[in-house]
Structure 1
Amino acid sequence: MTQPALTRASTMGPVVEFVARGGGCVARVFRSAELPLRLAEQPDLLVPLRDQFRLIECAARELGDDALPARLAREAGVAGLGPWAQRFCAAPSLRRAIETGIGDCALLLQSATHMALTVDGPLARWTYRITERTPVGRQKNELLAMGYMISVLRWYAGASWAPDRLDMPGPRLPGRASVESLNGCDVTHGEVAAVVFPAHLLDVPNPRTGCFRSEDDPTSLPGAEDLVGYVRELVRLSLLDGRPHRAWVARRLGLTVRTLQRRLQAQGTSFADVVRGISRAQAAVLLRRPEASVTEVAYELGYADPAHFTRAFVDWYGQSPQRWRREH
């Protein structure tokens, strides 16, 4: 069974800052999208793509700003692409950057995503398409993605550069005039979302090789058939709101709780085993932070009582959290 698409939280851009700056209610936006507010502090976490769609849609409605996705991408720039940005910003030329980024997108940044580069005479088209069916937010997501693509192009062509046009599929684009003003080009109807620009730019060398370095090595997204990998990522996400719940995870996978349990058993594991594994690894990460007390770590991992966390930690590591911290 193919699992729902995932994307990195960094692709949402500075949505919290924009909503707060615009006088909106950040908590209401995240609550409407059924996502933990603390997600904004964890840009490398993986999020169901449908949830990202819904969050951006809710934020745009909260502010009454249909051009919000374009603003988010412009503000975030290439850094909003997280570790994947390294693929673009370290390439020797724009052509090589796009080709490398296309090859790595579905592996490192966002699954169920197809990008392509074509050249037709004097014009190049860099296209973006989501292969998963989504009920809401598709057009907003396309605007967000093309904003990031323009940021990559500007890395090579200059900060004031603008594309020839943007192609947008689907119905009439709300906020079209604002989108055109932000990106400095016309928006026209097309069969697939695309940034259209002069083909000669593909040969432009990287003017800033070596000045962008990601501190993190990009980790691959779980494969589309990797149920256990998907459950792990959803457990990491749900830990931001306390102890993970089977029903929350199952709903995002389009499964009943019973079906989720049965399929995990067929893979030789269980939901409780996955939670224990994630909590065990995360406890070691958090305890290495000197500013975090054992009580704070316990609450961060969803334990209502630090004593319960301590007992679990002793089972995992054979010693108390305090002693483990001293030794490590």
Structure 2
Amino acid sequence: MDGQQRVGVLVALPLVLQELGEDPARLIAGAGIDPELLHNPENSLTFVELGRLLEACVTATGCEHFGLLVGQRSTTESLGLVGRLMRNAPTLKDALLDLCTNQKRYVRGAVAYLVVQDEIAFLGYAVHHPAMLAIDQLSDGAIAVGFNIISELSGTAPDEALLARRAPGNLAPYRQFYGSTPRFDAQQNALAFPASLLTHPVRGADRELRKTLEKLVASYWAVEQPSVAQTVTRLLRARIVFPNTSLETVATELSMHPRTLNRRLQAEGKSFRDLMSEARFQGARQLLEGTRMEVTEIALALGYAEPSSFTHAFHKWSEMTPSEWRKHGNAGLDRLQ
């Protein structure tokens, strides 16, 4: 499954390339994509195409913060109908849930999530497409989009940006955009801010217009809804680095009894245990490849009480230890395919 990503803010990508001295049409076409596709924010790219394009952009420009440069040009307008819905939400929480709930309609392969823990809210973004390239660039862009959205809707910027990638050589663009240095080598790509901000009313929201927009959003992307297994995969990828992620908590999120969730997964030939393992494996691979986190830190982040248990599980998944995977990079993934 290639997954898909709405073009949205990517309409700014050709301009960023031009500003960096590249020929946008030539480079985009060279990545196997019709340049015209990026002229309409309602078009879509597959995740394979998007990863290939972002990787080509970084290679050609030598710009390690390319994703940030694209994402920082966003507003709620970049999100189309969902952005309009968000601008007419009663509170910031309602607006962010609009984004997280409707994202599955036009994005397959990544998940936006809102989690509150210990009075801190996290608006995060996690890729679960198995063959995505340039995850650091896509995530940089997504977190920049989230930063602009929260600032626009609440009038207050998030406290901190967490990025699950190694720090690039030039930190100045990040400091300039976020107002401080993000926390690199983090266990998730997310924005952290006080949970109390979620109750902040969205200025200028129109209740009646929102009712109309809710119907438009539902009908505009009248696509096949994700299966139960796909829905659980999205939830697990979003919550895998948070404590107490279990069958019970996921079932509660889906308003199901745990036994009902198990039965529905079994009907699709899946099990919760296997989906949890897949989510941990994806999370582990991305943290090993993208960050400088120690293996022990990654094990704890993914819910393992002992690093040895994590190493055993990772070897079972990949026939390699975590350290070997980090050393060989994507060669490990090629071995599995």
Which of 211, 218, 221 aligns to 1:219? It is 221
Partner residue in 2 for 1:178: 173
Contact 1:74 1:148 in 2 (8 A): yes
Q: How many residues of Structure 1 are paired with residues of Structure 2 in the alignment? A: 219
Partner residue in 2 for 1:127: 124
**Residue 194 and residue 121 in structure 1: after superposition, are their counterparts in 2 closer, same or farther (change >3 A)?**
same
Which of 184, 193, 213 aligns to 1:197? It is 193
User: Could you list the per-position Cα deviations for residues 23-53 of structure 1 after superposition, in whole angstroms to 9, with x for gaps in the alignment?
Assistant: 2111232123210011122221121022122
**Residue 83 and residue 174 in structure 1: after superposition, are their counterparts in 2 closer, same or farther (change >3 A)?**
farther
- Structure 1: gaps spanning 5 or more residues: 226-328
Which of 15, 18, 33 aligns to 1:17? It is 15
Let me know the Cα RMSD of the aligned residues.
Answer: 2.5
Q: Is residue 154 of structure 2 the alignment partner of residue 152 of structure 1?
A: no
Deviation of residue 127 (structure 1)?
A: 1.5
User: Which of 1 and 2 has greater Rg?
Assistant: 1
CA separation in 2, counterparts of 1:197 and 1:62?
Answer: 35
Q: Greater CA deviation, 142-151 or 38-47?
A: 38-47
When the two structures are superposed, what TM-score results if normalisation uses the length of structure 2? 0.59
- Structure 2: gaps spanning 5 or more residues: 228-337
Partner residue in 2 for 1:34: 32
Q: Which runs of 4 or more aligned residues in structure 1 lie more than 6 Å from their structure 2 counterparts after TM superposition?
A: 211-214
Partner residue in 1 for 2:43: 45
**Residue 70 and residue 220 in structure 1: after superposition, are their counterparts in 2 closer, same or farther (change >3 A)?**
farther
CA separation in 1, counterparts of 2:8 and 2:72?
Answer: 13
Partner residue in 2 for 1:93: 91
Which residue type is aligned with residue 51 of structure 1? E
Contact 1:71 1:182 in 2 (8 A): no
CA separation in 2, counterparts of 1:100 and 1:122?
Answer: 21
CA separation in 1, counterparts of 2:36 and 2:100?
Answer: 30
Matched position secondary structure for 2:158: coil
CA separation in 1, counterparts of 2:129 and 2:138?
Answer: 12
Matched position secondary structure for 2:104: helix
Which residue type is aligned with residue 72 of structure 1? V
Identity over aligned pairs, percent: 16
Q: Greater CA deviation, 42-51 or 90-99?
A: 42-51
Between 1 and 2, higher relative CO (CA 8 Å, sep ≥ 6) is seen in 1
Deviation of residue 223 (structure 1)?
A: 5.1
